[in-house]
Structure 1
Amino acid sequence: MRELTEAGMRQVEEIARQQGVSREAALVLLHALADGGGAMAQFSHPELGGMGQWSRGGMIMIGDMFNNGLKARVDALCVALAGLLHGPGPVFAPAMPGRALDGQAGGGAWWPAELGSPAASGAQNSMAYAYFPAARRLAVRQDGQVRIFDTDDHRISGVSQQQGGGQVLAFTGDRGEVRLEALREVGGEAPSPVAAAVPESGGEAPESGVASLPTPGGSPIELIRQLAELHRQGVLTEAEFQAKKTELLGRL
């Protein structure tokens, strides 16, 4: 974890005091925002409502989904910390000098240098991702291994990481939600036809055993309740339930 400058730590502590959270909670958000280029963050902390996501422009989701007061506090905290990252003074202390990996950008970047700067990036636990729309590439690092995927003509608007039976990476775009395994790995084999986008409407489940989801038409909250019942019955996996819930919460 990167160290803060003395001035940066004082500013973080002041922002935490103003927003009524602990310094530790503010630091969790600061590092998540730094991973997301100051424009987005994926975080997990009990003071922040558990697992959550934030992106510039007003998108905010937290585990305590009906606590609107906490949502507003987390949003204000993210805005203040993002402003700190983009401020005139350095927040993080200079990294110790070292040699970048061959074929990768320096400055702490872990993806191949030829991809340039990502439009979005983030990290959680042992998994990190970076999205490059101009190159139509998605870079994923897990357990020290970097893999590059072709996003084809998908227009990615959000990325989510879900826990449960192993981490699952999915993204949302103009065609709904697509799982990482549905993308072709550059230099690897084509994705399995079964690894398709999560259906937006009802219908028979594919032979792979992926369950069909409730048909849209009700409110997002009602659809989440239906999904929760399918999850309770074992029809949906934890990853499938959490991914679809995240998408529906984005409609609120």
Structure 2
Amino acid sequence: MNAIFTDASFQNIVNVANRYGISVNAVTDLTQTLIRTNGSMAQFNIPELGGGGQWMQGGMTMVGDMFNNQLKATVNGLCIELSNLINQGGIQYKPLPKVENQNGFLSGSAGNWWGDLGFPNSSGSQNNTNYAIFSNIGRLAIRENGLVTVFNTLDHQIGGTGQQQGGNYSVSFTSQYGNVDLNTLPIVSGGENKPKPKQAPIQNNNNNNILQNEPLQAIVAPVQLDNNNFEEDIFTKIEKMAALKDKGILTVEEFENKKIDLLNRL
């Protein structure tokens, strides 16, 4: 995928390259490696930076010339600056151009089902479910049965996918916090597309099978096991979302909607 940076993003890359005396092409290659992980790590092979090397947020820097401390410092400085720009939105890809498809509707690009979100950091499919992860703008798009839902990923850095065992979708996601519960993520668009919960049989007093919605089971079961822990978990999630609202990651409307949803589970 030949991704193109916005004009402002490219100027930021040029400014960084000039400060360090490194070519723009080399810094651009390094940036594209970093943006795939939302600025958390880079694996590169750039002759101007000593050939093969690796950088990881938190202090690990490896270069081909392992005893060249000046080169290590340069790579570390470059990666830190570029990582900060990526996380602050100072480096982004241009949105995909909108084109008219055969049905006369506008889409992000011919063949791209996620619309005008731009270039995903990663995309794929599992069991007839398509997904696209946009780390640089904090979005996750999922297409299930032809219907697209876009989530706000908050402060999750989604880095893994797998097969979901139960739940609304057949694909699961992991971040730095472990498994990502999609029910806790605000829906940006397509909320009406969210698959209806599956129904499961339960026993009534006459030992006959009846159907009950899965969300009700998900709410009732934890209360029966340990009501106090369940309530504490709800309030903990609300506190975390409040902190995200204070940081501007969540809007007031998104926070209030999700808070009401969580409180309704008590």
Structure with bigger helix share is: 2
Bin for the TM-score computed over the shorter chain: 0.3 to 0.5
TM-score by length of 2: 0.41
